[in-house]
Amino acid sequence: MSGMKQKNFSERLSAARDAKQAMAAKFRQRPGSDDPAVAERRAARAAVSAARDVRLAEREAQRRAENAQRATDEARLAAEREALAAEQAEQEKRAAAEKAANEVKLEAERKAARDARYAARKARK
């Protein structure tokens, strides 16, 4: 490792000072806040931000409109289901009433047939 050069303390101090000066010079080269390029970039960022806010507001409005539409659709479907259920209940009620009427009629026919058989048996004796 004889190829390595040993630096003494003053050389290291001067290298550190040079590095700090280079960093400070680089920082000073940055444009100030009153520079037209900086103002232009700031305005462009503000325009992008405003456009983003507009898009977010549009999406929120669209989402609310879809939710309102979905709610009205659900309410309409619920009303249709309720009407259908009421109609089916009415049909079942009518069917039960018809069945009861048929049972009464059938029972009356059976009784009449039984009475006719009884009367025929009595007439034979």
First to last CA, the chain: 147
pLDDT value, residue 4: 57
Cβ contact 31:37 at 8 Å:
yes
pLDDT at 33: 75
In this prediction the pTM is 0.44
- Domain residue ranges in the chain: 35-124
Model pLDDT, residue 31: 74
Would you say 93 and 101 are in contact if contact means Cβ atoms under 8 Å apart? no
Q: Quote the pLDDT of residue 1.
A: 44
Q: What is the pLDDT along the chain (125 residues), one digit of tens a residue?
A: 444 566 788 888 999 999 999 999 888 887 777 888 888 999 999 999 999 999 999 999 999 999 999 999 999 999 999 999 999 999 999 999 999 999 999 999 999 999 999 998 888 87
